[in-house]
Structure 1
């Protein structure tokens, strides 16, 4: 096998067409250059240079080899520059999975900060429900995920990113209901607007009613938080939603929170990565910015 350094010596010598100049460029002795070329020629059983009185000149076989070696070292140099850019976070990619609501209301400020600091990093977002996002994470399609808890999976390392407090909200047509405390039974008889089945949020609220011995059937099933808030504002019923997601509407009197005799328990939002997967430099930088586990 030919030493990679021999190829480098061959390349520089071919460019300078002079052993002494090549040695000076490579910071080695002229005999070392001559020896490396001789070893290459013996290994290949081909002459690579014509020895001239004032230097060297590539043979036909040397010219053929030069084309490949020149391109190969150019690619290696490009690879090293690319790796250096990845290391310095000038280039790279991070793949994040989360629901639309968590992307908009929880992740977006972090994404804006990360993009501002590292504009060369490509951010790829994968949206879906928690079970779908969990599956993509385990299959390696994404680097990290923001999930509604609980998620119990031994293959994932999950730390708390945030705590959400949920509530039921109504529009101005039902404002008087917000002036008194309601039982779970009264709420179950009210027109309910819930996220579609299969979402962690839908499962959570159904389980909460089940602990009260109640089974609910929503009047509306919608696919986004924005639609929940909008239909509640228009008077279609009470929407189950995280308070922080509609805090502005609550502050401006566009929505009204229903008070409950038995308050809803808070929900944890987890940040997950695979236990067996080494994060890219870009993903590690994003994790550091989130400061996961210290909130």
Structure 2
């Protein structure tokens, strides 16, 4: 059976044209070089070297083999350099899944800090709703997911990162409601702007209304917080959004926060990774940054 070391010995012998010099390069004995060459020739059933008085010379078959061995060791050397770069975080890739809003408002400071420290690492962002992001994580298409909690899945390890408070907001067209305490019924009767069905936020707000025995039928369904905010500002109705994402609009008066008589529970944002799959070095470094809160 062929051994990798035989090829290394063969290559040094071919380059040096001398068994003794090859042995010196490899820090082994000359008989060890001679034995390895003879074993290769016996296994291949071919002569690889012509024996000369002052050394050895490759046969035609030996020259053919050398070309392949040179390429193979060049690839191995390149692989070792690549692995070294991965270990030193000068190369690599981190694949992250999250909704557009979480990428913009939660992840961006972390991504900026990570990219500043490790500019050679590629960052691949996959936007989507929490359920589809979780599915892609379990399928191995991404390394980690930033998701709305709660999330329980035996395949995933989930850690809480932050807590967000939500609020109902409207534009100036509904400013007369700003100083009132609204019942859940009154809120439900307003034109509702909502996330698309199946999103964790849509499910959350539907359950909140259902706790008061009410159901909602949104007038407009939109796929992002930016769009919900804009449509609310233009007077299309009431939008349910995380308060930190609209603080500037609330301060400037472009949006008005409505106050329900039933408190809204806070929601948590978490990071999920697969329990059964080790992370790449780059992904592990990014996870540590998220856990420590660096970059915020």
Regarding TM over 0.5, the answer is: yes
Name the residue aligned to 2:236: 236
Name the residue aligned to 2:37: 37
Q: Does 1:51 align with 2:62?
A: no
CA contact (8 A) 1:159 1:292 kept: no
Q: In the aligned structure 2, how far is the partner of 1:184 from the partner of 1:92?
A: 50
Q: Cα deviation per residue 1:10-57 (whole Å; 9 max; x = unaligned)?
A: 101111112232222212233322232222223323221112222211
Local SS of the residue matching 2:247: helix
Q: In the aligned structure 2, how far is the partner of 1:90 from the partner of 1:21?
A: 37
Deviation at residue 249 of structure 1 after TM alignment: 1.2
Between the two proteins, the alignment pairs up a number of residues equal to: 295
CA contact (8 A) 1:160 1:268 kept: yes
Q: Does 1:289 align with 2:289?
A: yes
Deviation at residue 293 of structure 1 after TM alignment: 9.4
Instruction: Give 5+ residue unaligned stretches, structure 1.
Output: none
Name the residue aligned to 1:207: 207
Q: Equivalences for 1:76-91 in 2 at 5 Å? A: 76-91=76-91
Q: Give the TM-score normalised by the residue count of structure 1.
A: 0.95
Q: Cα deviation per residue 1:91-145 (whole Å; 9 max; x = unaligned)?
A: 1111111111111111111111111111111111111111111111111111111
Q: In terms of mean alpha carbon deviation, does 46-55 or 277-286 score higher? A: 46-55
Name the residue aligned to 2:188: 188
Q: Cα deviation per residue 1:223-280 (whole Å; 9 max; x = unaligned)?
A: 1111111111111211110001111111222212112222200011121111111111
Q: In the aligned structure 1, how far is the partner of 2:133 from the partner of 2:212?
A: 30
Deviation at residue 292 of structure 1 after TM alignment: 6.4
Local SS of the residue matching 1:258: strand
Task: Give the aligned CA root-mean-square deviation in angstroms.
Answer: 1.7
Q: In the aligned structure 2, how far is the partner of 1:171 from the partner of 1:183?
A: 19
Q: Cα deviation per residue 1:201-224 (whole Å; 9 max; x = unaligned)?
A: 011001000001111112221111
Q: Deviation above 6 Å: which 4+ runs of structure 1?
A: 292-295
Q: Give the TM-score normalised by the residue count of structure 2.
A: 0.95
